[in-house]
Structures are given as C-alpha cells and as structure tokens.
Structure 1
Amino acid sequence: MTGSHAGGGTGRRTGSERRSLGWRIGTPVVALLSGSLLAVSAANSHGTDLRPGRYNNLAELVAGEASDYRTVEDRFNELSDEVDRLTASINDKGVGRARADVAKLRDPAGLTPRSGPGLAITLSDAPSELVDAAVARNKEVDPEKRINLNRFVVHQQDIQAVVNALWAGGASAVTIAGQRVISTTGIKCEGNAVQLQGVPYPQPYVIEAVGDPTGLYESVASDPLVAGFRTDAANPLIGIGYSLDFKARVEAPAYDGVLDLQYARPLR
C-alpha cells in the first residue's frame, strides 16, 4: 500500500511539472502573437477604427464627411493663396508669361463664375411606397415579370448621362447640387448618396446648366440614356423622379475645390 501510494505521488508531480513547463513556454508565445496582431492592426488602421460602427443616420454621415472635406479644402485654399502671393512677388518675365497663360485658361477650366439662361433638371429616387409595392409584387409574379429594384434609385450613370447631354447641347457651365462640374469632377455612388468630388450628397439631385435653353433641351430630349430614365419616371409602377425647368438665369459659381491634376499637356 505504501509503495503504491508513493509511486502514484511521483506520477502526479511529473504531470504537474509538464503542465508548468507548457505554461512557461505557451504564455510568452501567446503574448508575442497578441502583440504582433496589435502592431499590425495599428499600422493598417493609420489611427482610424478598423471596425467603425454602422451609420444609421444618413444626414449625420453626409454632414461628417462634408465637414472633413471642407477642412482639407480650406487648408488647400490657404496654401494656394500663399503660393499666388509669393509667385506675384517674383519679378521674372518667364513667370509673368506663365501667369498670363494660366489666367487665360481659368474660365475654360471652370475657375471663374458663369451665369445666364439655361435649364434645371432634378432627379430623385422613387417614393418608398412604390418600392414597397414592387417588392411585394415581385414575390407574387414569375421571375421574368419582376421589376429590377435598381430602377427605383438614381445612380451615378443617370447623373452622368444628364450632364453629358447638357455638355453636348452647348452648356458653358454645369452644376450639381450647386457645385461646379469641371473636367476632373468625379461622380460615384456611396451607399444611399452620391459622392461629388469626394463629398456625399443625398437626393434629390439638382443639375443646372448655363446655355441656350432650346439647344440644351433638344440635346437632353434626344439622348437615349436620359430617355430610358424618363421612361421609368413616366411608368406608374416605378415613378422615379424627373423634372425639367427652363430658367431665365442660372448661377454657376467658380469651382473652388481641390485640383488633383497630376499631369498636364497642352492641347494640340
């Protein structure tokens, strides 16, 4: 009995020693791996939240991103003004000629305001009750007869189609939501809003153009892409928003955002 008890005690001590050795080795390894993961997360996040909370308030999201963009834009304008002041103080013929060339290009580039008669076109998403009705209807009909729910929402290509038609109709200036459109303007969908030059804007989207109203109207009326949108607007089952108004005067402010040109070549 005594010998058997002693042998059992030795076995328990050996198992304890093995568990102790495992903890001594495993704990530093786990700590090292955890530290590595934290370091990688910190490096990839660049100081931001890798898993940000969901935005339930679209207005709050739009206001927040617009504020961030305006902060960067204000700083850019401050630096641009400083560069202009320093350049103006340089007494050099070459610099003077370059500044004169730049001044000639400011208007074609959209950096000066424009005003005059024109058109205003407003695009908006379909009413929510029509969307709900379409969802219910799609559950009851054959797949071939279902309505694509994307047709109830204004997309970036819809805005681009209207803008391109206005340019083709001879517009001298175009604005979206009051913001001047230039050659580097980017339009893209971002959730339930459309981003314009990095700033999200909710619908409805008001597009205005300065130019001969008749020429602008004819160009928009004959554009096949805009015609498809108008067809959905006239469809009582879809009812996406489309309206066109002749304007005695359209105000197109100068573009005052960040110019992100990387390469420039003279036109031949």
Structure 2
Amino acid sequence: MTDHPHRARRLLARGTLSVALVLALSGALFAANAKFARASGERHPQDLRELAQVETARVARLSTEVDSLRAEVDALTAQENSAAGTEVGTPGPGYQVAGGLVPVTGPGLTVRLEDAPQDSPRREDVSPDVLVVHQQDLQAVMNALWAGGAEAMALMDQRVISTSAFRCVGNVLRLHGRIYSPPYEVRAIGDPRQLRAALNASAAVRDYLRDAADVGLGWSVTDADEPMELPAYSGATELGSASVPDGVEVLPGLEAAEEKQRLSPSPTTQPGRP
C-alpha cells in the first residue's frame, strides 16, 4: 500500500466513533423532524437524504429571516441615534467589504476541488483518506487566496469572512448551519494573476496537487469571464473569543496614554466633595 506522508499527517481518522456519532445525530434529527412534520402537516422525510434537504432548506429560510431582522434592527438603531442626536460614523468601504456587510462585484477566479472518482486506478492501493477532499485542503486554498490579495471570498454559495468557520464531517462540508457535498467551489475576487501565483506558491496546495495527479482528485482554477458577484455575509456576527498574534499591539498608544495620565498632576480636591 502506497503511503502519502505529506497529507496523511494532517488527516483525521474516521473511525467507529465518528460513524456512531453521525448515526446518533441522524436519529435525533429524524425524531425532531417527525415531530415538526406532524405539527405542520408536512410530509415526513423517508430517508437521510430527504431529511438533509428539508433541514438545509429550513436553515436557508431562517438565515434569510435573520438577515431581514438584522437590517430592521440596524434601521431602528439608526433612528434612535438620530432622535437622540448621537453621531455614529459610517464604516468606510474597506471595512464594509472586509466585514462582508455588502455584496461585492469584481474580477476573480473559481477554484474547484472534488473527491477522486469511483474508478480511480489507485483506489485499492492507497488509504481512503487520500481519495477525498479534506477540511485542511479547503483551508490551504483559502489561505493562499487571502495571501494573494483576495478582497472577498465565498465558499460554495456563502460569503466567508475572518470569523467564518467550516468543518468537514466525512465527505460533507458544514458551513453556517448548511451542509454541502463535493465538488467544492471557492470563489475569490481579486487580481487573477496574483491569486494564481499565490496558489502555486502554497506548499499545502502543492501537497494536494501531488495527490490529485496520483489518485485523480479533482482540481481546476478558472478565471471569471465576467465580473464575479459575491453576496453579503449572512452568518452569525457574535464573536466568542479571539487572540492577537505575537508582536501585535492590541491598542496602539494605550501605554503612552496611561503613562501620561500617571505623570499628570492630580486635580485639586474641593472641600465637601469626594
């Protein structure tokens, strides 16, 4: 059996525990959906595939409702600030694009990754992990595109930003509550030549390409014929935690301001006041 150390170190084994977890979650979803279907009079899904389709459609509908409610909250907040005479600055275009607050249009390219075909000539000679697209492979592509100057990016049909998180479970992708199957598409807006150069310069992408040539993993990079359109970000905006890279000052000038305040003479205390 041929070994592939360059990717094998980064792959997560899919053992019995993972299968049991997926089956348990599927059973729970079936039970919950059956109760929901009885209450609403809808047809009960007959298998896991139909259940996934129903839940995906429900998540998409709820995401649209969240977007509408968020826009309503923003409008009401603006009205309250205006009535109170509070001046709130408008974020610049760069902030709006980076935060995914607005849809964007521009030149770019699409990267497509896909599992090896069923008739791959090496299927019997290699580990099954080598035959599928993994979370690490998608991360390698997206990181390379960001490094290449991508101004905005989408994974499948959803906009991704700095706080986006996706996971691969088996051979499906979970992103913002939705489930996708391969082939996977990453679309990026930016200079196509710089984006291609960044992909070629990525060691992790080259690892994937070696396996693609060996076992038939899908790979294609296509420049957009027309200006590419990416939607605004529609996922959750709450940030649970964050870390700052070493050497980056969190609040520039804070220490100098605190030192200045420490050295400044204290105001004279007036009698009768604390």
Deviations 1:118-153 (CA, angstroms, capped at 9, x unpaired): 12110000001228x623x4xxxxxxxxx2210100
Structure 2 residue aligned with 1:33:
none
State which of 245, 256, 263 in structure 1 corresponds to 2:222: 245
Deviation at 1:103, TM superposition (A): 7.8
Distance in structure 2 (CA, Å) of the matches to 1:64 and 1:205: 21
**Correspondence 1:194 to 2:173:** yes
Distance in structure 1 (CA, Å) of the matches to 2:58 and 2:29: 19
Distance in structure 1 (CA, Å) of the matches to 2:213 and 2:46: 32
Match of 2:113, as an amino acid?
L
State which of 236, 257, 260 in structure 2 corresponds to 1:258: 236
**RMSD across aligned positions (CA):** 3.0
Deviations 1:16-37 (CA, angstroms, capped at 9, x unpaired): xxxxxxxxxxxxxxxxxxxxxx
Residues 106 and 229, structure 2, Cα contact 8 Å, conserved in 1: yes
Which has more radius of gyration? 1
Structure 2 residue aligned with 1:108:
98
Residues 133 and 171, structure 2, Cα contact 8 Å, conserved in 1: no
Distance in structure 1 (CA, Å) of the matches to 2:186 and 2:149: 15
Tell me the percent identity. 36
Q: Determine helix, strand or coil for the equivalent of 1:219.
A: helix
**Correspondence 1:134 to 2:123:** yes
Structure 1 residue aligned with 2:141:
162
**Correspondence 1:183 to 2:162:** yes
Distance in structure 2 (CA, Å) of the matches to 1:156 and 1:174: 16
Deviation at 1:192, TM superposition (A): 2.7
Distance in structure 1 (CA, Å) of the matches to 2:47 and 2:132: 19
Range moving further from structure 2, 81-90 or 224-233:
81-90
Deviation at 1:114, TM superposition (A): 1.6
- Could you say which structure has the higher helix fraction? 1
State which of 92, 95, 115 in structure 1 corresponds to 2:84: 92
With normalisation by structure 1, the TM-score equals 0.67
Distance 1:62 1:88, change over 3 A: same
Structure 1 residue aligned with 2:187:
208
The gaps in structure 1 that reach 5 residues or longer are: 1-47, 138-146
Deviation at 1:67, TM superposition (A): 2.1
Distance 1:56 1:183, change over 3 A: farther
Residues 162 and 226, structure 1, Cα contact 8 Å, conserved in 2: yes
State which of 45, 62, 71 in structure 2 corresponds to 1:81: 71
Structure 2 residue aligned with 1:42:
none
Residues 105 and 229, structure 2, Cα contact 8 Å, conserved in 1: yes
Structure 1 residue aligned with 2:255:
none
Distance 1:108 1:125, change over 3 A: same
Distance in structure 1 (CA, Å) of the matches to 2:108 and 2:203: 21
Q: Determine helix, strand or coil for the equivalent of 1:89.
A: helix
Residues 193 and 200, structure 1, Cα contact 8 Å, conserved in 2: yes
Distance in structure 2 (CA, Å) of the matches to 1:201 and 1:267: 40
Structure 2 residue aligned with 1:15:
none
Q: Determine helix, strand or coil for the equivalent of 1:251.
A: strand
Distance in structure 2 (CA, Å) of the matches to 1:215 and 1:74: 34
Deviation at 1:216, TM superposition (A): 0.5
Distance in structure 1 (CA, Å) of the matches to 2:162 and 2:135: 16
Distance 1:56 1:263, change over 3 A: same
Deviations 1:6-53 (CA, angstroms, capped at 9, x unpaired): xxxxxxxxxxxxxxxxxxxxxxxxxxxxxxxxxxxxxxxxxx965858
With normalisation by structure 2, the TM-score equals 0.66
The gaps in structure 2 that reach 5 residues or longer are: 1-25, 32-44, 245-249, 253-274
**Correspondence 1:153 to 2:132:** yes
Deviation at 1:57, TM superposition (A): 5.8
Residues 121 and 243, structure 1, Cα contact 8 Å, conserved in 2: yes
